[in-house]
């Protein structure tokens, strides 16, 4: 994980991950979620991933934890993350791959699950392509919820887990 206090989580929600990872700033489009994040010590801002309310070159690191599948325009959201990152900044994207056990389950049951109803899951290669086009180079990948039993072990790579974390550097 990037070691810095100058970090932003896009789609901070309740601040659960931001608090655990010591991320200082959080942006989210839902005012009620921001109300829940503030008591966790997160400096919150109302806003959208596709139009971040921050100046260029502001943050050392940006996190998108189970967020990218929910934004309207994934490419624009990644370009915005690049814009607010300083040169050589780090982007961490944690996501559920479309071809994973959970990805397939959530896609199959989209109509029954209001939370994932609008989600647009990606393969690792789709995400890789979007990151490259947005000016990022992947440095590392890790995975958990490993198949077939969704075990909590952690290993490098991206092809065996239902939860994958990608660390990419702004170029």
Q: What is the pLDDT of residues 129-162, one digit of tens each?
A: 999 999 999 999 999 999 989 999 999 999 999 9
- Summary mean pLDDT of the chain: 94
| Structural domains of the chain, with CATH | 7-170 (3.40.50.150)
| Residues 6+ positions from 31 with CB-CB distance below 8 Å | 46
Q: In Å, how far from its chain's centre is CA 64?
A: 2
Q: What is the pLDDT of residues 72-119, one digit of tens each?
A: 999 999 999 999 999 999 999 999 999 999 999 998 888 787 778 889
Residue 140: phi, psi to the nearest 5? -160, 150
Of 163, 37, 49, 6, nearest to 100 by C-alpha is: 163
Q: Is the pTM of this model over 0.85?
A: yes
Q: What is the pLDDT of residues 53-69, one digit of tens each?
A: 999 999 999 999 999 99
């Amino acid at each position: 994980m990037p070691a810095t206090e100058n970090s932003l989580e896009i789609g901070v929600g309740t601040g659960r991950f931001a608090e655990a990872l010591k991320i200082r700033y959080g942006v989210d489009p839902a005012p009620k979620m921001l109300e829940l994040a503030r008591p966790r010590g997160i400096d919150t801002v109302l806003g959208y991933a596709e139009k971040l309310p921050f100046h260029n070159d502001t943050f050392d690191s940006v996190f998108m934890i189970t967020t990218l599948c929910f934004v309207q325009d994934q490419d624009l959201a990644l370009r915005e993350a690049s814009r607010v990152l300083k040169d050589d900044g780090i982007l961490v994207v944690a996501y559920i791959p479309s071809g994973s056990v959970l990805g397939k389950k959530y896609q199959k049951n989209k109509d029954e699950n209001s939370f994932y109803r609008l989600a647009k899951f990606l393969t690792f290669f789709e995400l890789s392509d979007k990151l490259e086009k947005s000016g990022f180079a992947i440095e590392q990948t890790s995975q958990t919820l490993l198949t077939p039993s969704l075990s909590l072990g952690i290993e490098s790579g991206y092809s065996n887990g239902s939860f994958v974390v990608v660390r990419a550097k702004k170029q």
